[in-house]
Structures are given as C-alpha cells and as structure tokens.
Amino acid sequence: MPDPRSVTVDELVDRYEGMLLDAYGVLLTEAGPLPGAAQFVKRLNELRKPFCVLTNDAAKLPSTTARRLQAMGVDVPAERVVTSGSLLVGHFARHGLKDRSCAVLGPPDSVHYVLEAGGRIVPVHSDFEVLVIGDESGFDFIPTMDAALSSLFARIDRGAAVHLVVPNPDLVYPAGLGAFGFAAGTLAAMFEGALALRYPDRPELTFVRLGKPHTPIYEEGLRRIGTKNACMIGDTLETDIRGANSAGIDAVLIGTGVSVPDWATTPPALRPVATLTGFAP
C-alpha cells in the first residue's frame, strides 16, 4: 500500500466544506499555540468555513477550552468546541438517565456536565444508578475508587441495574516533555477488571465510551458543522484517525503531535487519507 499523500493547507481548505480539528498536538501544546494554528483558524473564520474542535477532555467546560485557545490568539468560540463531557447531555437523553442518581468522579466541571445532562448527584458511597468517570483528578483517589467499587458490587449483587459511562476513554495523557499521566479511561479499566473478576458471566458490565476514537463525538461535530464533506485533522492515529475512519470521514494526520507512523506496518483502520506537515507556511 502506498504511503498517504502529503497535502497542503490550501488543498484541504479547497477540498472540504468543513473541518474537525483535534486540539492538543494540532492547535496547541502545553507550551502554547502551534505555529500557524492561529492563522489557520483565522482563515476558516474569514471564509465562514464551519469547523469544530473535538477534544476528549471531560474535566473542563467548552468555554474553558475556548478561552485558553483565545488567550493564545487561536480564535475558537465556545460553541465550536465539542468536549467528550458535553456529550453526556445527548447520552443521558438517549438512555433515559435524566433524574437518575449519579455518582461522579472528577472535578467540579465534570459534575457540571452531569447536572447539565439532567443527572441527580449523589455521593459515591450511596446506592447510585449511574457511575460517571469524568476525570482522574478532583477527588481523593483510592478511598473514592474503593467506595464507588463497594457501592457498585452491593447494587449488582442484589440484582439492580447500573449504567457506567466514561466520556473520555483516553488511558494516558502527555503531561509535558517526557512526562505522562493516567487518564480517565484507565480508571474505567480498573472497574472493568474488578467487575470481570466478581461477575465473570456478565460481560456487559462495561463502560460506555463517548470520546475519540468512538463515534458519538464525531457525530456531534458533524452535526454542528452541518456537512459530512469534512475531514478530521489530528495528530494521533489511535484516537483521531481511527475514529474518523470509523465515522466515515476523511482523516488527515498532522506532523506536529504524537504519532510518527511507519506506514509499512500501520493497519488500514489507522491510515489517514493524507498527511500534513503542519499549519505553518
């Protein structure tokens, strides 16, 4: 299979009616905006070309992410940011979870997302109907995890239903140069390991995942930009590119972030249609 072809920003702008953009490794890093990102977004705004930023973050509100980008000169309004946390509104509506008792792991913005979705917040040591893992931060880790696990076991033992959801399925996040951290998806994997051990014949006891590479976040992004003639520009094969391929839209890998692929060994599900060096001219 030939390597994905290299494209320019001009070609992408001409070819697609709309764009979905990853944030970290595409528009910014912890250190600041990536070269050319501000000019690229300015161009999309001037052309009135619809775009959305898709981020797996469920610990910060879209307005917080938009403000951070704007402070770096990247003019993304809050309504153009789709976080995995914001998908809880649609998820709760589709699954009839409004007014259900919800235990939430995460900082205040994660709790805000659940309230916005119509959930009723209860402590983790109580008999909750829904467990939402919003983030790995914002709580006393082991005691809270243990309390949630004990409540979960008690509920399942007596035959009651439970709904498990983790908006951000990421396992690891880059915390800086050479530094990494466990992300929310790792917590879900811990619960799933414990559930599989106690209930080996209940394989359905797993978390619903909403963020990239799962399709709900792409569906919401495409709904907001109002066209399917769009490409996803991302820096990570396993999330951005895999998800775009699953969602049935073109994926473009940008060279300013995580993935530096060897195309000879990259499976089809992870292959973009094209590569872009970066937004800098």
3-state secondary structure 136-182: CCCCCHHHHHHHHHHHHHHHHHCCCCCEEEECCCCCEEEEECCEEEE
Q: Within a 10 A sphere around the Cβ of 109, how many other Cβ atoms?
A: 20
Q: Token pair for residue 273?
A: 């249609």
Q: Which is nearer to Mg ion, 16 or 24 (CB)?
A: 24
From 110-118, 189-197, 212-220, 235-243, span contacting Mg ion (CB under 5 A): 235-243
Please report whether residue 57 would count as binding Mg ion according to CB under 5 A.
no
CB of 92 to Mg ion, least distance (A): 27
Per DSSP, the three-state class of 51 is strand
Contact with Mg ion (CB under 5 A): which of 9, 16, 20, 25?
25
Give percent helix, percent strand, percent coil of the chain, each to the nearest 5. 40, 20, 40
243 half-sphere exposure, CB direction, 13 A CA radius: 32
- What x/- string results for residues 106 through 135 when contact with Mg ion is judged by CB under 5 A? ------------------------------
Contact with Mg ion (CB under 5 A): which of 109, 129, 220, 235?
235
Contact with Mg ion (CB under 5 A): which of 22, 109, 129, 220?
22
Contact with Mg ion (CB under 5 A): which of 16, 24, 40, 51?
24
Give the total of residues touching Mg ion (CB under 5 A): 4
Please report whether residue 170 would count as binding Mg ion according to CB under 5 A.
no
Cα 38 from chain centroid (whole Å) = 22
Residues near Mg ion (CB under 5 A): 22, 24-25, 235
